[in-house]
Amino acid sequence: MGLLQLQKISVDVPNVREILRGIDLTVEKGKLVVLTGPNGGGKSTLAKVIAGIQPSSSGSILLDGEDITSLDITARARRGVAFAFQQPVRFKGITVRDLISLSAGGPVSEGQMCELLRDVGLCARDYINREVDASLSGGEMKRIEIASVLLRRAKLTIFDEPEAGIDLWSFTNLIHIFERMRGRMEGAMVVISHQERILAAADEIVVLADGRITAHGPREQILPTLLGGGEKCAYCPGQGEACAEGAKA
């Protein structure tokens, strides 16, 4: 039994379309799984369903053997599900120190904060007492959110396009963080991304297209097909070029 099990997950939007179609997926402990595929394929929707942000129309979600399908985002967070948004939420009146302490569930030493922020390319002295508001750039907010999510050491951590809005140096450092975590994770990570370097850090790659999983397997098996010399991705019917180009970006 995997850490996360999705059984026949579907999401229907009335008068629009079926966004997810009978998704079956198992994520094992200790795995870094990257979810990729063409835009509009349902990746972010699936991440939000797992986190409890968006309800599914049908199907079941099990975490460590417990059925969490009916639980809301708060209850799932208490069970060990952490979610990092593509566009981080800003909190006027809350400092970086406050946010990190809330994520940790208690006080965090100055040394821990310095190490944590250094890992995401920020100097604690410059940021620890700043408010998490509009004075911070999108890249700064993304790095602070990543730091707070990593600190939680959740059973399951979900990143929705963590590379969005950050500079090249921060992106490179983010890859190093993911690579380090692969060897010491007690839980699992699911990362939504088109970026080749993030795909290359995965243990497993899941391709989602048109609301269905069209491929799932070890990185060595799936990645070469996604990056096949400009040819269409074999797993993304009708939109393969977009998937392959995104992976190479």
Predicted pLDDT at 153: 76
Predicted pLDDT at 89: 66
**Amino acid found at 148:** S
pLDDT of 95 strictly over 80: yes
pLDDT digits (tens, 9 = 90+) for 155-173: 999 988 887 766 776 777 7
pLDDT digits (tens, 9 = 90+) for 192-240: 998 888 999 899 999 999 999 999 999 999 999 887 644 455 555 554 4
CB 150 within 8 A of CB 177: yes
Tokens of 53: 């942000």
pTM of this structure? 0.81
pLDDT digits (tens, 9 = 90+) for 3-59: 999 999 999 987 666 689 999 999 999 899 999 998 888 999 999 999 999 999 999
- What does each C-alpha distance from 147 to 19, 34, 56, 57, 177 come to in angstroms? 31, 19, 29, 33, 10
Rounded to whole angstroms, the Cα distance separating 61 from 9 reads 8
Listed ranges 38-52, 111-125, 146-160; the one with the highest mean pLDDT: 38-52
Residue of 38 and 182 predicted with greater confidence: 38
Tokens of 173: 């450092």
